[in-house]
Chain A
Amino acid sequence: MKLSVSEGNPHCIKPLAALQVTGVQVSVHYVNHDERVVPFLNRPVVPALLLPSGQHLFSPNVICRYLFEVKGQESSDLCNQWLEWEATSLQPALQLALHMAVLQGKGSEVSKVLQGHLNVLEQSLSKDNMPFLTGESVSAADVVLWASLYPVLSETSLALGERGSLKTWFDLVAAMHGCQSTAQKVLQGKGLQGMKSYMQRQPVPQSSQCRDAPPCNSN
């Protein structure tokens, strides 16, 4: 199997961290931001995983889910729910926050844009009193959520505030099997600025997509 990633692309942190946590063997190839890896998509999409059958997975969340299943861990309903929430609710808000922080120099806006989503995570982690989002052991949901929040939460200026459970969880995943150094490498050790050339190529996010209340729970 072959995983294509590009430097400075925050979505690539997810599958690279999942490789670290699961230990699945995949050859990793670095490509340019505008390389068309998946032939049928009309815009370049990275990361992409080439499967043994010759088909491509082009969603970072699904790649992570797949790597966990290869290791024998199937996704539970709760894991699916977190992955869907990440893709449909957190990502639009995160794209807006990153756009403001990286390209407009409005890093101070990030906490405001993301506070609803961070509260959802904090409430879920503190209520269940479990170390991970879906229970006692790490799942694809932890890796995906951790990796998508890494660029914003690893910046010291963007404090987590009073969200103690979220911070404990974030540090716990960061310490697993080199997740943190993998993420640092994707951002080339430059933090948010490491994503600048990638962000410049992305369409401007619509703030209207992020207004909705974060619809997740963890019952």
Chain B
Amino acid sequence: MALRELSSLEKYLGLKKPNKYTTRGDKKIPVLQSSNGTQLVGLLTIACHLVKEAKRPELLGDSTERRALAQQWLEYRVTRLDGYSKEDVKNILQDLNLHLQDKVYLTGNQFTVADALMYYGVHPLIVDLSIQEKEQYVNVTRWFDHIQHYPGVRHHLPLVVVLRNTIYTGRHH
């Protein structure tokens, strides 16, 4: 899965020459093989490297603070969303839902590479949600729908239908 994400990220970044990748271990951790024989290991590390290679530093965050916030959600992605259990799903969606309550993107009002990777990571969770659950996690769903329509991000993933109108009314949380 990680390799498809990296390939989508390369396309989004407009990198003309695709990099060479392998994976390592049972968890299929991505490894980038560069032309001079060196390797970079790990989804987060490689994603940040690609952004720098594409000379799009603003996608890592345009200030020290935003860069830290982007890193935090990238780390959340690789620690919480890779190999999650059924019980985790609820916790992850609750965390994100509360965090995104007053935000357009994960770091605030600017799109970063953390939004792209989190979108790739939560896609399998969102696909499995019922309409009712999508309404329960309304902020996640709104953010998700925004990112899947963000130009050039979706690539390898199917579009998930998100209803704009609430059909279950009178729910209290």
| Residue B44, interface by CB 8 Å | yes
Q: What CA separation (Å) do A62 and B65 show in the bound complex?
A: 11
Tell which of A66, A84, A212 touches B44, judged by Cβ atoms closer than 8 Å.
A84
Interface of B is mostly: helix
Known A215-B24, A219-B37; contact A81-B68, beta-carbon cutoff 8 A: no
Q: How many of chain A's residues touch chain B, expressed as a range?
A: 35 or more
In whole Å, how far is A22's beta carbon from the nearest beta carbon of chain B?
Answer: 13
Q: Which of B13-21, B74-82, B115-123, B165-173 contacts A (4 or more CB under 8 A)?
A: B74-82
Contact A55 B65 (CB under 8 A): yes
Q: What CA separation (Å) do A152 and B167 show in the bound complex?
A: 54
Known A87-B79, A209-B83; contact A58-B42, beta-carbon cutoff 8 A: no
| Residue B132, interface by CB 8 Å | no
| Residue A39, interface by CB 8 Å | yes
Q: What CA separation (Å) do A175 and B69 show in the bound complex?
A: 30
Contact A57 B42 (CB under 8 A): no
| CB-CB contacts below 8 Å: A175-219 with B | 209, 211-213, 215-217, 219
Q: What CA separation (Å) do A59 and B69 show in the bound complex?
A: 10
Q: Which of B3-11, B93-101, B146-154, B155-163 contacts A (4 or more CB under 8 A)?
A: B93-101
Question: Closest residue of chain B to A203, judged by CB?
Answer: B87
In whole Å, how far is A146's beta carbon from the nearest beta carbon of chain B?
Answer: 19
Question: Closest residue of chain B to A39, judged by CB?
Answer: B98
Tell which of A43, A77, A209, A211 touches B40, judged by Cβ atoms closer than 8 Å.
A77
A-B pairs under 8 A by CB, number: 99
Return chain A residues, CB-CB under 8 Å to B71: 59, 62, 65-66
Return chain B residues, CB-CB under 8 Å to A69: 64, 67-68
- Give A contacts to B, CB under 8 Å: 39-43, 51-53, 55, 57-59, 61-63, 65-66, 69-70, 77, 80-81, 83-85, 87-88, 91, 209, 211-213, 215-217, 219
Further 17 A-B residue pairs, CB within 8 A, beyond A42-B91, A51-B68, A84-B41: A40-B99, A55-B69, A55-B108, A57-B72, A59-B76, A62-B72, A66-B64, A66-B68, A70-B64, A80-B49, A81-B41, A81-B42, A84-B75, A84-B78, A215-B29, A215-B42, A217-B41
